[in-house]
Amino acid sequence: MGWHSSDTREVILDDVHLAADAVLGTEGRGFQQIMHGFQLERIALAAMGLGHAAECLDLSRAYVSERQAFGAPLTNLQTIRHKLAMMEIELDSARLLTYQSAARLDANHPDALKTVAQAKFLAAIAANRIVDDAVQLLGGAGFVEESAVARHYRDARILRIGGGTDEIQLEILTKGLTP
């Protein structure tokens, strides 16, 4: 669907022998090490969502200011202006939580992992809603394959899947609630 520059392949390791000095990190701590890497990946994915959303908001603003319908720009319509306001609210909320998660991870804050999961979840969903709103605001010009918002629409979808799906973030956030 998107991310065409991400070359995704199956890798099969069959009867592979490596010298002891080829071990990455500390022996026996692979899981912990990869989980630490996942925290950075999740913040990066949340930040990618902010990028998709910010550009879609800019492109939407430009289009609705220029596009004349029934003798006036689309921004004359309250429903259009309100949609832009809601897109910005979602983007700003996702941005604040993403920045907070990065600051907490840097500072080894006790709630860092929780905030990272919240940021990854919120930013991915907000980005998907905002790119969808942008396609709607641009109408047919947003749907055609060569439009910039159509590419954001396709590429943003993976953010709810990669680096741990929405469902996995919710699992992280509710771990410990089951008896």
Ligand X SMILES: Cc1cc2nc3c(=O)[nH]c(=O)nc-3n(C[C@H](O)[C@H](O)[C@H](O)COP(=O)(O)OP(=O)(O)OC[C@H]3O[C@@H](n4cnc5c(N)ncnc54)[C@H](O)[C@@H]3O)c2cc1C
Q: Token pair for residue 38?
A: 């996942």
Q: Angle formed by the axes of helices 166-174 and 112-138, to 10°?
A: 150
- Determine the Cα–Cα distance for residues 102 and 77; give it in Å rounded to an integer: 38
Size of the site for ligand X (CB under 6 A): 12
Q: Which of 3, 67, 73, 88 binds ligand X (CB under 6 A)?
A: 3
Q: Which is nearer to ligand X, 3 or 99 (CB)?
A: 3
Q: Which of 144, 167, 174, 175 binds ligand X (CB under 6 A)?
A: 167
Q: Which of 58, 92, 111, 171 binds ligand X (CB under 6 A)?
A: 171
Q: Give the nearest distance from C-beta 105 to ligand X in angstroms.
A: 18
> Of all helices (H) and strands (E), which one includes residue 148?
helix 148-156
First vs last C-alpha separation in the chain: 40
| Residue 8 touches ligand X, criterion: CB under 6 A | yes
| Residue 165 touches ligand X, criterion: CB under 6 A | yes
| Residue 92 touches ligand X, criterion: CB under 6 A | no
Q: Which is nearer to ligand X, 95 or 160 (CB)?
A: 160
**Helix, strand, or coil (residue 68):** strand
Yes or no: say if 74 and 67 are a contact pair by the CB < 8 Å rule. yes
Nearest to 117 by CA among 162, 170, 156: 170
Q: Which of 47, 158, 172, 173 binds ligand X (CB under 6 A)?
A: 158
Which range of residues in 63-71, 88-96, 140-148, 162-170 is near ligand X by CB under 6 A? 162-170
| Residue 33 touches ligand X, criterion: CB under 6 A | no
Range list of H helices, 20-111:
30-66, 78-106
Residues that bind ligand X (CB under 6 A): 3, 6, 8, 158, 161-165, 167-168, 171
